[in-house]
Amino acid sequence: MSAILLDTASATDVGLVRKINEDYLFVMPEQGIVALADGMGGHLAGEVAAEVAVEVAVEELRHAQRFSQMDTMQCLMHIGEAVERANQSVYTLAQSKEELTGMGTTLVLALFQDGHIYYAHVGDSRIYLLRNNKLMQLTRDHSLIQEVLDHGIFPNRGEAREAGVGENVLTRSLGFTLEINVDVNEAVVCNSDLFLFCSDGLTGPVKESTIQQLMAREELSLQSRARALVQAAKDGGGRDNISLVLARPVMAEA
Protein backbone atom coordinates (compact mmCIF):
# COMPACT_ATOMS: atom_id res chain seq x y z
CA MET A 1 0.00 0.00 0.00
CA SER A 2 1.40 3.39 -0.96
CA ALA A 3 0.44 7.00 -0.29
CA ILE A 4 -0.74 9.27 -3.09
CA LEU A 5 1.38 12.35 -3.70
CA LEU A 6 -0.62 15.56 -3.37
CA ASP A 7 -0.38 18.89 -5.14
CA THR A 8 -1.58 21.29 -2.44
CA ALA A 9 -2.19 24.90 -1.56
CA SER A 10 -3.25 26.21 1.84
CA ALA A 11 -4.34 29.49 3.36
CA THR A 12 -5.34 30.70 6.81
CA ASP A 13 -6.52 34.16 7.83
CA VAL A 14 -7.68 35.64 11.13
CA GLY A 15 -10.60 37.31 9.34
CA LEU A 16 -11.97 40.79 9.92
CA VAL A 17 -13.37 40.46 13.45
CA ARG A 18 -11.39 37.98 15.54
CA LYS A 19 -8.09 39.00 17.17
CA ILE A 20 -6.65 35.47 17.34
CA ASN A 21 -6.54 32.74 14.71
CA GLU A 22 -7.73 29.56 16.43
CA ASP A 23 -7.59 27.42 13.28
CA TYR A 24 -4.68 25.08 12.62
CA LEU A 25 -3.80 23.06 9.55
CA PHE A 26 -1.06 20.66 8.54
CA VAL A 27 -0.24 19.06 5.19
CA MET A 28 2.22 16.29 4.31
CA PRO A 29 1.94 16.10 0.49
CA GLU A 30 4.41 13.25 0.03
CA GLN A 31 2.63 11.12 2.66
CA GLY A 32 -0.85 11.97 1.39
CA ILE A 33 -1.97 13.46 4.72
CA VAL A 34 -4.14 16.54 5.34
CA ALA A 35 -5.47 17.76 8.70
CA LEU A 36 -7.40 20.87 9.69
CA ALA A 37 -8.94 21.99 12.98
CA ASP A 38 -11.06 24.91 14.17
CA GLY A 39 -10.50 25.52 17.87
CA MET A 40 -12.80 27.06 20.44
CA GLY A 41 -12.47 28.16 24.04
CA GLY A 42 -11.19 31.02 26.17
CA HIS A 43 -8.18 33.21 25.46
CA LEU A 44 -5.67 31.14 23.44
CA ALA A 45 -7.40 27.90 24.49
CA GLY A 46 -8.97 27.25 21.10
CA GLU A 47 -5.63 27.81 19.43
CA VAL A 48 -4.04 25.25 21.76
CA ALA A 49 -6.82 22.71 21.24
CA ALA A 50 -6.60 22.92 17.44
CA GLU A 51 -2.82 22.59 17.34
CA VAL A 52 -2.72 19.69 19.81
CA ALA A 53 -5.48 17.83 17.95
CA VAL A 54 -3.78 18.14 14.57
CA GLU A 55 -0.29 17.33 15.80
CA VAL A 56 -1.39 14.27 17.78
CA ALA A 57 -3.67 12.94 15.03
CA VAL A 58 -1.02 13.31 12.33
CA GLU A 59 1.66 11.68 14.49
CA GLU A 60 -0.64 8.75 15.28
CA LEU A 61 -1.44 8.28 11.60
CA ARG A 62 2.22 8.50 10.60
CA HIS A 63 3.07 5.89 13.24
CA ALA A 64 0.43 3.57 11.78
CA GLN A 65 1.80 4.13 8.28
CA ARG A 66 5.26 3.09 9.41
CA PHE A 67 4.25 -0.04 11.28
CA SER A 68 1.12 -1.36 9.58
CA GLN A 69 0.23 -2.82 6.19
CA MET A 70 -2.69 -0.32 6.05
CA ASP A 71 -5.24 -2.11 3.87
CA THR A 72 -8.70 -0.56 3.49
CA MET A 73 -10.10 -1.68 6.85
CA GLN A 74 -6.89 -0.79 8.66
CA CYS A 75 -6.84 2.67 7.07
CA LEU A 76 -10.34 3.35 8.37
CA MET A 77 -9.50 1.92 11.78
CA HIS A 78 -6.23 3.82 12.16
CA ILE A 79 -7.59 7.15 10.98
CA GLY A 80 -10.48 6.87 13.43
CA GLU A 81 -8.12 5.89 16.23
CA ALA A 82 -5.87 8.86 15.40
CA VAL A 83 -8.80 11.24 15.95
CA GLU A 84 -9.77 9.43 19.16
CA ARG A 85 -6.22 9.81 20.46
CA ALA A 86 -6.28 13.50 19.53
CA ASN A 87 -9.50 13.91 21.50
CA GLN A 88 -7.97 12.23 24.55
CA SER A 89 -4.95 14.54 24.37
CA VAL A 90 -7.07 17.70 24.13
CA TYR A 91 -9.36 16.53 26.94
CA THR A 92 -6.47 15.61 29.25
CA LEU A 93 -4.71 18.91 28.66
CA ALA A 94 -7.92 20.87 29.26
CA GLN A 95 -8.36 19.12 32.61
CA SER A 96 -4.78 19.84 33.67
CA LYS A 97 -4.74 23.63 33.33
CA GLU A 98 -7.39 26.01 34.60
CA GLU A 99 -6.86 28.49 31.76
CA LEU A 100 -7.58 25.74 29.22
CA THR A 101 -10.80 24.46 30.84
CA GLY A 102 -13.59 24.10 28.33
CA MET A 103 -11.42 24.21 25.24
CA GLY A 104 -12.35 22.11 22.24
CA THR A 105 -11.91 21.81 18.51
CA THR A 106 -13.26 20.37 15.31
CA LEU A 107 -11.02 18.12 13.23
CA VAL A 108 -10.90 16.72 9.72
CA LEU A 109 -8.15 14.22 8.94
CA ALA A 110 -7.50 12.49 5.61
CA LEU A 111 -5.13 9.95 4.13
CA PHE A 112 -4.81 9.53 0.36
CA GLN A 113 -3.61 6.04 -0.45
CA ASP A 114 -3.87 3.53 -3.30
CA GLY A 115 -6.54 5.30 -5.28
CA HIS A 116 -8.69 6.23 -2.28
CA ILE A 117 -9.19 8.97 0.25
CA TYR A 118 -9.77 7.75 3.80
CA TYR A 119 -11.11 10.45 6.09
CA ALA A 120 -12.42 11.09 9.59
CA HIS A 121 -14.10 14.12 11.10
CA VAL A 122 -15.70 15.57 14.20
CA GLY A 123 -17.51 18.91 14.20
CA ASP A 124 -18.45 21.23 11.35
CA SER A 125 -15.17 21.62 9.48
CA ARG A 126 -15.71 20.07 6.08
CA ILE A 127 -14.24 18.14 3.18
CA TYR A 128 -15.51 18.82 -0.33
CA LEU A 129 -14.77 17.11 -3.63
CA LEU A 130 -14.87 18.92 -6.97
CA ARG A 131 -15.26 16.36 -9.76
CA ASN A 132 -16.19 17.28 -13.33
CA ASN A 133 -16.93 20.80 -12.07
CA LYS A 134 -19.54 19.48 -9.61
CA LEU A 135 -19.02 20.18 -5.91
CA MET A 136 -19.92 17.47 -3.41
CA GLN A 137 -19.71 17.67 0.39
CA LEU A 138 -18.14 14.47 1.72
CA THR A 139 -18.57 15.18 5.43
CA ARG A 140 -21.79 15.89 7.31
CA ASP A 141 -21.73 18.58 9.99
CA HIS A 142 -22.05 17.62 13.63
CA SER A 143 -24.12 20.71 14.40
CA LEU A 144 -27.53 21.57 15.81
CA ILE A 145 -28.72 23.14 12.57
CA GLN A 146 -27.78 20.01 10.61
CA GLU A 147 -29.54 17.85 13.18
CA VAL A 148 -32.84 19.75 12.95
CA LEU A 149 -32.65 19.60 9.15
CA ASP A 150 -31.99 15.84 9.25
CA HIS A 151 -35.06 15.38 11.46
CA GLY A 152 -37.24 17.44 9.13
CA ILE A 153 -38.01 20.09 11.74
CA PHE A 154 -37.27 22.78 9.16
CA PRO A 155 -37.31 22.38 5.36
CA ASN A 156 -34.11 24.34 4.76
CA ARG A 157 -31.19 26.03 6.46
CA GLY A 158 -32.57 29.53 5.92
CA GLU A 159 -35.79 28.85 7.82
CA ALA A 160 -33.84 27.17 10.62
CA ARG A 161 -31.66 30.27 10.97
CA GLU A 162 -34.72 32.55 10.96
CA ALA A 163 -36.16 30.47 13.82
CA GLY A 164 -33.02 31.12 15.85
CA VAL A 165 -31.11 27.88 15.37
CA GLY A 166 -27.44 28.85 15.64
CA GLU A 167 -25.12 27.90 12.79
CA ASN A 168 -22.17 27.42 15.14
CA VAL A 169 -23.78 25.23 17.81
CA LEU A 170 -21.92 21.92 17.62
CA THR A 171 -23.35 18.57 18.69
CA ARG A 172 -19.93 16.90 18.61
CA SER A 173 -16.39 18.23 19.05
CA LEU A 174 -13.02 17.15 20.45
CA GLY A 175 -11.93 17.88 24.01
CA PHE A 176 -15.16 17.93 26.03
CA THR A 177 -15.45 14.24 26.91
CA LEU A 178 -12.89 11.47 27.12
CA GLU A 179 -14.81 9.31 24.63
CA ILE A 180 -15.84 10.62 21.23
CA ASN A 181 -17.82 9.25 18.30
CA VAL A 182 -15.74 9.70 15.14
CA ASP A 183 -17.21 9.51 11.64
CA VAL A 184 -14.93 7.67 9.19
CA ASN A 185 -15.42 7.03 5.50
CA GLU A 186 -13.62 6.50 2.21
CA ALA A 187 -14.05 7.34 -1.47
CA VAL A 188 -12.37 6.45 -4.73
CA VAL A 189 -10.04 9.11 -6.13
CA CYS A 190 -10.16 9.92 -9.85
CA ASN A 191 -7.87 11.90 -12.13
CA SER A 192 -8.48 15.66 -11.97
CA ASP A 193 -10.30 15.45 -8.60
CA LEU A 194 -9.80 18.50 -6.39
CA PHE A 195 -10.46 18.30 -2.64
CA LEU A 196 -11.19 21.18 -0.28
CA PHE A 197 -10.67 20.98 3.48
CA CYS A 198 -12.01 24.02 5.30
CA SER A 199 -13.24 25.56 8.53
CA ASP A 200 -16.70 27.14 8.79
CA GLY A 201 -15.06 30.53 8.44
CA LEU A 202 -15.25 29.78 4.71
CA THR A 203 -18.53 27.91 4.42
CA GLY A 204 -20.46 30.29 6.68
CA PRO A 205 -20.24 33.44 4.56
CA VAL A 206 -19.61 31.89 1.13
CA LYS A 207 -22.25 30.02 -0.87
CA GLU A 208 -21.36 26.58 -2.18
CA SER A 209 -22.01 27.81 -5.73
CA THR A 210 -19.30 30.45 -5.26
CA ILE A 211 -16.90 27.92 -3.76
CA GLN A 212 -17.51 25.66 -6.75
CA GLN A 213 -16.88 28.47 -9.23
CA LEU A 214 -13.63 29.52 -7.58
CA MET A 215 -12.33 25.97 -7.22
CA ALA A 216 -13.06 25.28 -10.89
CA ARG A 217 -10.96 28.19 -12.20
CA GLU A 218 -8.35 26.09 -14.00
CA GLU A 219 -6.61 29.18 -15.34
CA LEU A 220 -5.51 29.97 -11.78
CA SER A 221 -2.92 28.11 -9.72
CA LEU A 222 -4.13 26.24 -6.65
CA GLN A 223 -2.57 28.90 -4.43
CA SER A 224 -4.40 31.67 -6.31
CA ARG A 225 -7.66 29.78 -5.88
CA ALA A 226 -6.96 29.37 -2.16
CA ARG A 227 -6.40 33.13 -1.84
CA ALA A 228 -9.59 33.82 -3.82
CA LEU A 229 -11.61 31.63 -1.47
CA VAL A 230 -10.24 33.46 1.57
CA GLN A 231 -11.05 36.81 -0.04
CA ALA A 232 -14.60 35.65 -0.77
CA ALA A 233 -15.04 34.84 2.92
CA LYS A 234 -13.71 38.26 3.90
CA ASP A 235 -15.95 39.94 1.33
CA GLY A 236 -18.83 38.09 3.03
CA GLY A 237 -18.00 39.64 6.40
CA GLY A 238 -15.03 37.60 7.58
CA ARG A 239 -16.47 37.24 11.08
CA ASP A 240 -14.54 34.04 11.80
CA ASN A 241 -11.07 32.67 11.16
CA ILE A 242 -10.78 31.31 7.61
CA SER A 243 -8.65 28.25 6.86
CA LEU A 244 -8.52 25.86 3.94
CA VAL A 245 -6.42 23.34 2.06
CA LEU A 246 -6.83 22.53 -1.62
CA ALA A 247 -5.45 19.09 -2.51
CA ARG A 248 -5.17 17.50 -5.93
CA PRO A 249 -3.98 13.88 -5.97
CA VAL A 250 -1.15 13.26 -8.42
CA MET A 251 -2.24 9.93 -9.85
CA ALA A 252 0.39 7.52 -11.18
CA GLU A 253 0.25 6.78 -14.90
CA ALA A 254 -1.44 3.48 -15.69
What per-residue confidence (pLDDT) applies to 236? Answer: 97
What per-residue confidence (pLDDT) applies to 162? Answer: 77
Question: pLDDT: is 70 or 132 the higher one?
Answer: 132
Look at residue 101 and tell me if it is in a domain. yes
Look at residue 224 and tell me if it is in a domain. yes
Query: How far apart (Å, rounded) are the C-alpha atoms in residues 24 and 39?
Result: 8
72-105 pLDDT, tens per residue? Answer: 899 999 999 999 999 999 999 999 999 999 999 9
Ramachandran class of 5: left when φ > 0, alpha when ψ lies in -120 to 50, beta otherwise: beta
pLDDT at 165 over 80: no
pLDDT at 206 over 70: yes
Look at residue 145 and tell me if it is in a domain. yes
Look at residue 1 and tell me if it is in a domain. no
What per-residue confidence (pLDDT) applies to 155? Answer: 82
Specify the number of domains making up the chain.
1
Q: What CATH number corresponds to the domain at position 74?
A: 3.60.40.10
103-149 pLDDT, tens per residue? Answer: 999 999 999 999 999 999 999 999 999 999 999 999 999 988 888 88
**Edge-to-edge strands of the sheet including 134-137?**
6-13, 242-249, 194-198, 126-131, 134-137
Look at residue 254 and tell me if it is in a domain. no
Domain carrying residue 67:
6-249
Has this prediction a pTM greater than 0.75?
Answer: yes
Query: What are residue 242's phi and psi, to 5 degrees?
Result: -125, 120
Look at residue 163 and tell me if it is in a domain. yes
Look at residue 105 and tell me if it is in a domain. yes
Look at residue 230 and tell me if it is in a domain. yes
Query: How far apart (Å, rounded) are the C-alpha atoms in residues 247 and 250?
Result: 9
